[in-house]
Amino acid sequence: MSVSTLGVHGSVGEVFPTAVFRDALADAGPSVRVVSDGDDLTPCDALVTFAYEERFLDAGLDWIHSIQAGVDRFPFDELSDREIALTNSTGIHGDVVGETAVGMMLAFARRLHVHRSNQERGEWRKPAWDDAFPLRRESACVVGLGTLGRGIATRASALGMDVTGVKRTPTPVDGVDRVHPPADLHEAVADAGFVALAVPLNDDTEGMISAAELAAMREDAYLINVARGPVVDQAALVDALESGAIAGAGLDVFEAEPLPADSPLWDREEVIVTPHAAGINDEYYERVATIVRENLRRLSAGESLTNRVV
């Protein structure tokens, strides 16, 4: 497989400027062109994209690269049938997603989200004496210990938190005191002040946090979701928040995105909502370009692609 023309789909502009990304690959070897909705894709041998379109299947592409780690929107079987390789951008977000997740923990512990809301209302209001607490005496259970989960765990550990985790293969992980298998999920979350989700979305993880798991958590615990929205039963989460079964939630992902304007999650003080932005940073395009460059090199050398999913 060789690539003479690499397309950059216009949808990457939702994350970083297409022209900036195109220019970052200008000397990578193949011709690089930006393609928008409706543009002819047949001149392209490969495509870098954020979105998925059905027409990709019949455009004569040999390789598609997703700028995200999650590729659940792509039809694996159809791509395989057409011998179209699919790669993703896993491995590049551990630091920034870890910072986002632990940042939410810090916000809840130090009541920063409440202070910001008070500022917007022009209110000078100190928290109750027992509202704020230090993270060093708290515990975090990180569900999923891949790149994202390890990024959360190492940062939580650095702040003095006791960190446990849940991993399909419960082998030791740096910064994690104890690793549980998925079968012990209820036990793992039961003692944690924060439960942080960092699993990919698949048949095993869809709906893995439902009413039963939320009931297993402490009443003063917070759920942090930087994984995928459908990993959590959102209706059950709303019920748990409204009933006081858990203290709050920091949510970067949702079942429906954008989060509908009528969602009750918007109006709860103990919920932090961010717009699926945990991985966004000013180095994002460079990190993706590094993977694309490496795979272009591998293709030229006849080597297997890195981060290959299909």
- Per DSSP, what are the bridge partners of residue 194? 140, 222
- Which amino acid would we find at residue 60? G
Query: Does 136 score more than 80 pLDDT?
Result: yes
Number of domains in the chain: 2
**Of 109, 76, 106, residue with least CA distance to 310:** 76
Residue 227 sits in the same domain as residue 287: no
pLDDT band for position 169 (50/70/90)? very high
Name the pairing type of β-strands 63-66 and 162-166: unpaired
233 and 261, same domain (yes or no): yes
Q: Which domain holds residue 70?
A: 5-88+282-301
**In a domain? residue 309:** no
Question: Do 128 and 149 fall within a single domain?
Answer: yes
pTM of the model: 0.95
Give the pLDDT confidence score for residue 38 in this predicted structure.
86
Residue 241 within a domain: yes
- Verify whether residue 115 is a known catalytic residue: no
Report d(CA 306, CA 171) in Å as an integer: 24
Contact 86, 310 (CB under 8 A): yes
Q: pLDDT-based confidence at 37, cuts 50/70/90?
A: confident
What CA dihedral angle connects 89, 92, 97 and 102, to 10 degrees? Answer: 150
DSSP-based helix, strand, coil % in the chain, nearest 5:
35, 15, 45
In terms of domains, do 232 and 99 share one? yes
**The token pair that represents 271 in the structure block:** 């919920």
Same structural domain, 168 and 237: yes
Q: Which candidate in 22, 155, 180, 228 is catalytic?
A: 228
Cα–Cα distance list, 91 to 70, 76, 132, 250 (Å): 11, 20, 34, 22
Q: Per the structure block, which two tokens stand in for 160?
A: 């003095």
pLDDT score for 283:
98
Do 82 and 134 share a structural domain?
Answer: no
Q: Check whether residue 31 and residue 148 sit in a common domain.
A: no
CA dihedral 67, 71, 77, 83 (to 10 degrees): 20
263 and 294 within one domain: no
Contact between 136 and 158 under an 8 Å Cβ cutoff? The reply is no
Q: What pLDDT shows up at residue 2?
A: 84
Angle 102-185-153 from CA coordinates, rounded to 5°: 25
- Which one of 14, 257, 283, 303 is the catalytic residue? 257
> What percentage of the chain carries pLDDT values higher than 70?
100
Predicted local distance difference test score (pLDDT) of residue 63: 98
Query: What CATH number is associated with residue 76?
Result: 3.40.50.720
Whether 288 shows a pLDDT value over 90: the answer reads yes
Residue range 48-107, pLDDT digits in tens: 999 999 999 999 999 999 999 999 999 999 999 999 999 999 999 999 999 999 999 999
308 is a domain residue: no
Number of other CB atoms surrounding residue 4 within 10 Å: 11
* Region 285-309 average pLDDT: 97
Residue 222 lies in a domain: yes
> Is the pLDDT assigned to residue 1 strictly greater than 90?
no
CA torsion 253-271-198-174 (nearest 10°) is 150
- Same domain, yes or no: 123 and 196: yes
Whether 112 maps to a domain, the answer reads yes
- For residues 111 and 71, state if they share a domain: no
CA distance 60 to 62: 7
- 3 state SS of 228: coil
pLDDT beyond 80 at 263: yes
For 91-102, the pLDDT digits (tens) are 999 999 999 999
Q: Which of the residues 65, 93, 180, 276 is marked catalytic? A: 276
Q: Are residues 248 and 120 in the same domain?
A: yes
Which tens digits make up the pLDDT trace of 200-249? 999 999 999 999 999 999 999 999 999 999 999 999 999 999 999 999 99
| In a shared domain, residues 254 and 134 | yes
d(CA 182, CA 149): 14
Please report the pLDDT score of residue 92 as a whole number.
96
